Amino acid sequence: MKFLRIASEGMRALSAHKLRSFLMMAGTIVGVALLTVIMSVGKGTEQKVMKRVDTWPIRVIKVNAGGGKGYTRPQASVATLKLEDADAIRDRIQGWDLICCVAEKRDLPTKAGDRQCQADVFAVEPTYCEMQNWPVEEGEEIGAEDVRTMARVCVLGTTLVKTLFGEDNPIGNHIWIGKVQFRVVGVLKTRGIGPGGTESDNRALIPLTTGLRRLFNQNYISYIRVRMKTVHDVPGAVRKIGQLLRERHHITPPETDDFSIVTASEVAEVARGISRTLTAVLIALAGLSLLVGGVVMMNILLISVAERTKEIGLRRALGATQQAILVQFLTEALSVTLVGMILGAALGWSVSVALPRFTPVITERSWEPFALVIPFALVFGVAFGVHPARRAARLHPVEALR
């Protein structure tokens, strides 16, 4: 009962100075709101990325030109993968049911009439759309005859269609990629953002031979996709493809590979790692905001102790113990922190709900910020409130009343 009476006195002191109390909790409100929004945005982003990653078929192995690990874009200027490497995989690796070679160039100048833009151009084999599980929405795909005859035909992504043709039907019309003219024969279904965070629909597909000989003027490819018959064949195939390419490229330890092999599990792990790292950095920034708020609260409490010196001295003269004064000021610090964190979590939740309605940001709300409010408030309130409380408790009654 005595503790509750002392605590209620602390709450009355806070309500008597509303502006000061609000200033003390302002930093906490902002910090917790920021933390809540960051956690919801982080979860939403991770969920979105993982949905995109899930579109990567689990039976597919991607062999990139250029060394390195993880899901990265193929190194377009690296000439380490050749069509002969893909032929060797076809001949010597068992258990595959589809193979596709791709040569890509990013941001090539593309125009139709008086409209122009930068587009990603992919020189592909006829198996590309099946391999990517990406059918055309209108028209036809790149065919075997197109590759054999080096036809100047293309299939466009929906973003590129809107940029170059607006609402007009592009089928049968012509576009220029660099200095080569192509006839549009198909339009891909809309795909959206890819696992790497890039725009997937701003692309043009052209026959592989046309790209290598007429447009890119090169004899190397960017990557090879290999689809295995079963998921269980993937680990063994990854090992054998690596051995085969090291043999063909004359790579011996300790030389590093001039290619990289990526599977769906590696893509997922890299995506999760990026999301976790970004969220950790943002949480650290929110923690810094909380730290600043705590320092502000501590200083305002110290000012409050200085202003209430006579009140503290009178209470001590009337028999209040040091412990009672300590409890009263700690109660004030804890109350300010707890109320600030509750308001901050509520504000952060409201912002998380509103963000997807007015911006492209995706959020995923969770109970975690609210579950952390009470333990955070206890630690935070004690850490920044104990110094002002101890200073108030140590005031000498006689000196305080002077």
Convert the pLDDT of each residue in 170-218 to its tens digit: 999 999 999 999 999 999 999 876 655 567 899 999 999 999 999 999 9
Residue 19 burial (CB count, 10 A): 7
- The share of the chain scoring above pLDDT 70, in percent, equals 73
Nearest alpha carbon to residue 260 among 68, 59, 61:
68
Low-confidence winner among 37-46, 144-153, 276-285, 390-399 (lowest mean pLDDT)? 390-399
Average pLDDT over residues 30-45: 75
In this predicted structure, the answer to whether residue 132 has a pLDDT above a threshold of 80 is yes
Which residues are paired to 139 by β-bridges? 186
Domain boundaries, the chain: 2-51+270-401, 79-257
pLDDT digits (tens, 9 = 90+) for 377-398: 667 767 777 777 777 666 666 5
Tokens 């290999």 sit at which residue? 226
Structure tokens at 204: 């043009």
- The share of the chain scoring above pLDDT 90, in percent, equals 37
Q: How far is CA 46 from CA 115, 327, 348, in A?
A: 36, 44, 19
> Angle CA(240)–CA(243)–CA(245) in degrees, nearest 5?
110
In this predicted structure, the answer to whether residue 331 has a pLDDT above a threshold of 80 is no
Burial of 105-119, coded b for 16+ CB within 10 Å and e otherwise, reads: beebebebeeeeeeb
Residues 6+ apart with CB under 8 A from 41: 282, 352, 355, 361, 362, 363
> Residues 370, 33: contact at Cβ < 8 Å?
no
**CA 68, CA 86: separation in Å to the nearest integer?**
20
Residue 394 burial (CB count, 10 A): 11
Q: How confident is the model at residue 294 (pLDDT cuts 50, 70, 90)?
A: confident
Q: How confident is the model at residue 226 (pLDDT cuts 50, 70, 90)?
A: very high
Q: Please report the pLDDT score of residue 291 as a whole number.
A: 75
Q: Please report the pLDDT score of residue 387 as a whole number.
A: 73
In this predicted structure, the answer to whether residue 10 has a pLDDT above a threshold of 60 is no
Q: How confident is the model at residue 57 (pLDDT cuts 50, 70, 90)?
A: low
| HSE-up of residue 295 (Cα within 13 Å, Cβ side) | 5
Q: How confident is the model at residue 48 (pLDDT cuts 50, 70, 90)?
A: low
Q: Please report the pLDDT score of residue 1 as a whole number.
A: 41
Q: Please report the pLDDT score of residue 300 as a whole number.
A: 74
**CA 255, CA 81: separation in Å to the nearest integer?**
17
Q: How confident is the model at residue 13 (pLDDT cuts 50, 70, 90)?
A: low
